[in-house]
Amino acid sequence: MTRGIALVAHDRHKQDLIEFAQHHREVLRGHRLYSTGTTGRLLIRHADLPVTCLRSGPHGGDHQLGAQIVDGDVDLLIFFWDPLTAQPHEPDVRPLQRLATLANIPMAYNRASADYIISSPLLAPPSLVAL
Ligand SMILES: O=C(CO)COP(=O)(O)O
């Protein structure tokens, strides 16, 4: 079943997300992918993934993703946020995390969690699921 997956990273963790996306490219390609603007463009260029790019996070992209979660279009949030750097758009980041929690969708805020979740049989492409 195709899912909506949001992929987002703050600047210091964009490289981590690119490496995650490259590693799990085949699984990710089987789903609808959404990203905030800068993250999405990097994933298209460096992981060759068909990502729908929203606005940049500090310019409303986090809110757009939050709305998609509310609408049921996004089923999984992978968000490598940066706990060591103050973000000027912190007031935008919190609602995204809050709405994802409220909607009870899986969330991965670091690489280890993302690796666990993306390995779920629920996300495997049909060709990889044993019949
Ligand atoms: O800041 C972000 C999420 O809060 C990410 O936004 P960008 O992908 O546009 O850098």
In terms of Cα–Cα distance, which of 64, 56, 75 is closest to 11?
Answer: 56
CATH number at residue 53: 3.40.50.1380
80 occurs within a structural domain: yes
At which residue do the structure tokens 């009870």 appear? 104
47 by Cβ neighbours in 10 Å (0-12 / 13-18 / 19+) ranks as buried
The single residue of 11, 62, 82, 92 carrying the catalytic annotation is: 62
> Domain range spanning residue 57?
4-119
Q: What angle do CA 72, 74, 77 make, to 5 degrees?
A: 135
> pLDDT by residue (tens digit) across 22-46?
999 999 999 999 999 999 999 999 9
pLDDT score of 131 more than 90: no
Question: 3-class SS at 115?
Answer: helix
Residue 38 Cβ contacting ligand 1 at under 6 Å: yes
115 is catalytic: no
The model's pTM: 0.95
128 occurs within a structural domain: no
Residue nearest to atom 2 of ligand 1 (CA): 57
Rounded distance, CA 53 to CA 88, Å? 21
Ligand 1 nearest-atom number relative to CA 89: 4
Phi, psi angle pair for 10, to nearest 5° = -75, 165
104 occurs within a structural domain: yes
Residues 102-116, mean pLDDT to the nearest whole number: 98
Could you give the number of structural domains in the chain? 1
Assign 57 a pLDDT band (cuts: 50, 70, 90): very high
Q: What is the ipTM of this complex?
A: 0.98
23 annotated ligand-binding residue: no
pLDDT at 1: 86
pLDDT at 60: 98
